[in-house]
Chain A
Amino acid sequence: NAGVMQNPRHLVRRRGQEARLRCSPMKGHSHVYWYRQLPEEGLKFMVYLQKENIIDESGMPKERFSAEFPKEGPSILRIQQVVRGDSAAYFCASSPWGSSGANVLTFGAGSRLTVL
């Protein structure tokens, strides 16, 4: 029973390039959350998705960032034209639907983005 799978674990990009981070939730989980963590800082909520729906993207920067969770395949967090300030750990978490444990999150190991 694989947990939440994130890839790549480490990604290096030059300024102006695009970064794509992927997240496959736990089996049976239909909710995905993305968080960003800067060095020595807390987890900052970015976006909450269900299959084919963005429920809350209030934490997403207005430009360059987008997320999706298609009917088939992993959730993807996309960062266009990366800047040095985008360097961070990006954590994905999933939770089940319709149970008392609906808001207990299981995290992936994270994707660490470094922008040169």
Chain B
Amino acid sequence: RKEVEQDPGPFNVPEGATVAFNCTYSNSASQSFFWYRQDCRKEPKLLMSVYSSGNEDGRFTAQLNRASQYISLLIRDSKLSDSATYLCVVTPRGGYQKVTFGIGTKLQVIP
């Protein structure tokens, strides 16, 4: 089983729609979780951290489910500018922290 798994998509959604992505991880000792965004041929950029209590940043909401070992990203009121690949990232607890990226989920917001 891969350390981090994501549905590569693409997810094609109309403007204004709500879309959600999940990401599952295999290491129950994973401690830190993040969502990054990568635009075509550009470098990944941190979108948001994922906390145990969940967190929200404008139209974006991230959730963590430790029991089922997945994190989610919800985007409300999708904009054309949200079109990108969204990368799930997990790191283990303590010590050396290997940062593992999922393959990414491609989102295309359609006018």
Contacts and interface: CB of A to CB of B under 8 A. Distances in A.
A108 B43 contact: yes
B103 A41 contact: yes
A55 to B, nearest CB: 6
Interface of chain A: mostly helix, strand, loop or mixed: strand
Contact of A110 (B43, B49, B103): B43
B101 A91 contact: no
Interface residues of B, number: 21
Given A91-B43, A91-B44, A104-B34, A42 B97 contact: no
A105 B38 CA distance: 13
A45 B100 contact: yes
Interface of A: 33, 35, 41-43, 45, 48, 55-56, 89, 91, 93, 95, 102-110
Interface of B: 32, 34, 41-46, 49, 87, 89, 91, 96-104
